[in-house]
Structure 1
Amino acid sequence: MINQENEWIISHIDTLIDKVNNLPHEDFEGYSPYEMGSLLNFLNDPRSPLKINVLSDKAYKEIPLLNQTCLLMSILEEQENLLLTKVGNLPPKWVKALYVLGPPELAIEMSSKNVIKEQDTIAVQLARIILKIYRLCKQRHNKLSLTHHGKKLLNNKPALLHGILHVLTYQFNWGYFDGYGNFEIGQLGFGFTLVLLAKYGDKPQPAEFYADKYFKAFPQLLIDNNNNSQFRHNKKSLKYCYYFRNFDRYLSYLGLVNITKVPSTLEEKYLIQKTPLFDQLITVVAPQGIGDKV
């Protein structure tokens, strides 16, 4: 049985923990642990300092992955039951139509092949994966078609974009298309990367600038202890993984960053800058923590 003195001690400890969790934290760009917790779940937590805004029709057309997803859904609506290739891929003529809506992919741009297959383009594969995970399409007897849910969302771009972001943030494995074993790098704390871009992205910043701040907030991710990894990675490699997944892949597919390669360097270096679309889509509230920084 808990006596009054023990009740007071427990209450006092809870108060202290709550106070600490509300203090600004230097590693979190001034956000408190509570705010960081809500930031990790920014699409579902109304307390999150990061908000996704509704855009104009013109602005939605600036999001490559959304355009590819919408076109694929329109193709499925028009075809009703799209016959896939013998290996279950999208027909090449539709792959080409989808590919040109996204950022150029180096392997395709350097290839001499006239035919683009689904397995050649990561962005098109990703669009199809998103439709599957979000249950917007179904596959039966080697034919692809829209689900009832897909038909309802066909012309609802705010809902479609929210679905795309939800799949990318919480459901799709970011390590699916690369050889890095730790799928959490970049995906865990994706909202924090968006906060960093909101704060620092007006001017071009080195990719390493963002990687350093990210791993300062999530230092445990610098320990590559995934035994299922095909490769072992050093700190430099893991920082490149963060850049590659966040900026070269998913934020580029969303039209939220511009990447510039730094010329005349011994190793590849990149500058990152947010696009005008970024500030239209994303609003970030300043830290609300009270007290001295931790």
Structure 2
Amino acid sequence: MPTAFEDLSDQPLDDFEGLRPGQVHRLLHNFLDRGSIVRLSDADVPPPAAMPLVHFVRDLLDRLAERDIPLTKKGNLPAGLVKEWYATGLLPARDIDSGITKLSGEDDYLPAQVAKHLPLVMGWTKKRHNKLSLTAKGKKARALSEHAFFATLFRQHLKLFNLGWADGYPESSALQHVFGYLAYLLLLFGTEERPATFYGERLRRAFPLLERDFPGTQLTTALQLRLLEHYLAYYGLIGVKPNAGGPYHSPGVGTTIAFRKLFYLDRGAAPDPPTEEENYERQLRTALFDAEMGSQSYTSDELPLEMLEAFQEQVRQFEEQQAAQDTVTVRSLLGDMPILLPSDIPDNQIATREARRLTEALERVGILLVEDEAKELEPKDYYDYLHNLLLDFEIVPPPPGSRRALSFSEVVIASMDPIEALTEHFLLSLFRLDVPFPVDLLATEMRLANRLVPRQRGLDHLLNWRRQWREIVGLAFDVIDGPQVEPPTDRQAIQFYLVAYEVVNAASGEKEVFEGGGVMEFILEGEEWRVTGAQFPGFCL
């Protein structure tokens, strides 16, 4: 079930053409790899002659396999080789065809420069004593299948090569960084020829910071040269045709059959499971954040660490803003909307209808209900919860255009006695081995074996206890009236309860059930009650 965080932070967005932020992140950082919505198919690639840069690089490696190629005094490829490539007609150049530029050598023909430098960057060739020669990696590259050769060249070209090195626009790598998203747009819209401005506008909408490096019309023209003409067109994957409006008008852009065969959308793409180190780092950051904010947060394992950090910073800023504002009841946000009393609800059918009406009205004013545990309630009980608890819950009104998520547990806990609520919260958190224990539940000083110890010592003891078990399943919990014990001060409290739970031993796999009475001690630190000690069957803190 998605968490409240996932509901709010990873929903499809119009600015991303229906992608979720997490999908966009993987598209940019793991383009074509597992988790990327754009993937490379196993379809046969066109022959090298239909993929100009592949043809030029293949030809260069084949020539080097026979003998080293002496370079000119300037370090360029021989003019004869460059002219031979141009004569194939695979990648014509407007300035050469129009006579503006005379083809004398490598400096006059950009594809030849790329065909020379890219294998050097990839380690397929090397340059020594002004000669170009084949490396061991280059020899292995020659043995690759046509598909693997193309895939390797295409990926490394994007990853290692500066696509904007000769286009005259800012050296910023930002445009190259968002290429994966452009590929997604081309899969959505590229079958129909469209002006380059169509893609430029969508890139600007998705990534507004591009405007900083490519203001105004620069984004479209840089996109046209850097990503379309000097990258995709080199592989025969895009068709760029001049419009009738003249050379200063945006050209028509459409994908080729090769592009549509080789790339596809994997709507069910999921990332690789996080490593143990990533899990540890995520849990550590979450625990520290919860301790700082006095909360318990849940995040998806798929969430990249940098996005988690950015989200937590947004929460800090949001909380600072919220602290300075007045609260209102949820009911007041609905104005004069007629709301039936629970006593006027005759059956579950009417309860379901009225609950839906309330939920839709709340969504219109920016309140999103995360039903979680509430799904287990009968419709009449759920409506009773909405009417008697949620509508009287106090919040800071969400700003226009934003939403505030309210979970069942948040509302119910707020309505409970704080000591009873904290007792239950402590036990639930202790038993959930898949979630970091919220450190902020513990007091700065705790009782351990009849001695006062720092919070960290108490936390270590608690975590060591959890490590004994592979799984803990809560079976029953109830607060009870225990012996009449007066706390030493009004800033201390004691709660008695009954608890039952089942554990699975981490080493042996054996199951064992514990049940019986327990007691928990609390102290008021600032405005928050925190646990100083706890004892129940099988556990002592």
Would you call these one fold, judging by a TM-score over 0.5? yes
Q: Tell me, yes or no, if structure 1 residue 90 matches structure 2 residue 77.
A: yes
Q: Tell me, yes or no, if structure 1 residue 187 matches structure 2 residue 176.
A: yes
CA drift at 1:60: 4.7
Cα distance in 1, alignment partners of residues 32 and 60 from structure 2: 27
Does the Cα contact within 8 Å between 1:174 and 1:183 map onto a contact in 2? no
Q: How far does the alpha carbon of each residue in 1:45-77 deviate from its partner, in whole angstroms, 9 at most, with x for none?
A: 311111112342644542111111111111111
Q: Tell me, yes or no, if structure 1 residue 249 matches structure 2 residue 230.
A: yes
Of 79, 82, 86, which aligns to 1:99? 86
The 3 A distance-change label for structure 1 pair 140 and 217 is same
Does the Cα contact within 8 Å between 1:251 and 1:257 map onto a contact in 2? yes
- Secondary structure at the aligned position of 2:217 is classed as helix
The 3 A distance-change label for structure 1 pair 58 and 165 is closer
Of 160, 180, 185, which aligns to 2:149? 160
- Secondary structure at the aligned position of 1:187 is classed as helix
Partner residue in 1 for 2:119? 131
Partner residue in 2 for 1:20? 8
CA drift at 1:28: 1.0
Does the Cα contact within 8 Å between 1:137 and 1:147 map onto a contact in 2? yes
CA drift at 1:241: 1.0
Partner residue in 2 for 1:7? none
Cα distance in 2, alignment partners of residues 75 and 265 from structure 1: 41
| Greater strand content | 2
Does the Cα contact within 8 Å between 2:15 and 2:206 map onto a contact in 1? yes
CA drift at 1:151: 0.5
**Alignment-mate amino acid for residue 160 of structure 2:** Q
- Secondary structure at the aligned position of 2:176 is classed as coil
CA drift at 1:222: 0.6
94-103 or 149-158, larger mean C-alpha shift? 94-103
The 3 A distance-change label for structure 1 pair 192 and 234 is closer
The 3 A distance-change label for structure 1 pair 106 and 17 is same
Of 161, 169, 172, which aligns to 2:161? 172
The 3 A distance-change label for structure 1 pair 213 and 93 is same
- 1:1-294 pair list within 5 angstroms: 15-43=3-31, 45-56=33-44, 58-79=46-67, 81-101=68-88, 102-111=90-99, 116-156=104-144, 157-224=146-213, 234-264=215-245, 267-286=248-267
**Alignment-mate amino acid for residue 88 of structure 1:** G
Cα distance in 2, alignment partners of residues 209 and 287 from structure 1: 27
CA drift at 1:206: 1.2
Decide which structure has the larger Cα Rg and report it.
Answer: 2
CA drift at 1:29: 1.1
Cα distance in 1, alignment partners of residues 101 and 37 from structure 2: 47
User: What RMSD over aligned residues (CA atoms) do the two structures have, in Å?
Assistant: 2.6
Report the number of matched residues: 269
- Secondary structure at the aligned position of 1:163 is classed as helix
Cα distance in 1, alignment partners of residues 55 and 83 from structure 2: 14
Cα distance in 2, alignment partners of residues 223 and 238 from structure 1: 10
Q: Higher relative contact order at CA 8 Å, sep ≥6: structure 1 or structure 2? A: 1
CA drift at 1:288: 7.6
Partner residue in 2 for 1:4? none
55-64 or 143-152, larger mean C-alpha shift? 55-64
- Secondary structure at the aligned position of 1:235 is classed as coil
**Alignment-mate amino acid for residue 72 of structure 2:** T
CA drift at 1:107: 2.3
The gaps in structure 2 that reach 5 residues or longer are: 271-367, 369-401, 403-541
Cα distance in 1, alignment partners of residues 79 and 168 from structure 2: 26
81-90 or 17-26, larger mean C-alpha shift? 17-26
Q: How far does the alpha carbon of each residue in 1:111-147 deviate from its partner, in whole angstroms, 9 at most, with x for none?
A: 3887530111111111111101110001111111110
Percentage of pairs with the same residue = 28
Runs of 4+ residues deviating >3 angstroms: 14-21, 42-45, 57-61, 111-116, 264-267, 286-289
- Secondary structure at the aligned position of 1:186 is classed as helix
- Secondary structure at the aligned position of 1:272 is classed as strand
Cα distance in 1, alignment partners of residues 225 and 101 from structure 2: 26
Cα distance in 1, alignment partners of residues 100 and 10 from structure 2: 57
CA drift at 1:36: 0.7
CA drift at 1:15: 4.5
CA drift at 1:171: 1.6
**Alignment-mate amino acid for residue 208 of structure 1:** T
**Superposition TM-score, scaled by structure 1 size:** 0.83
**Superposition TM-score, scaled by structure 2 size:** 0.46
The gaps in structure 1 that reach 5 residues or longer are: 1-13, 225-232
Cα distance in 1, alignment partners of residues 87 and 43 from structure 2: 23
Q: How far does the alpha carbon of each residue in 1:160-180 deviate from its partner, in whole angstroms, 9 at most, with x for none?
A: 222222223222112201221
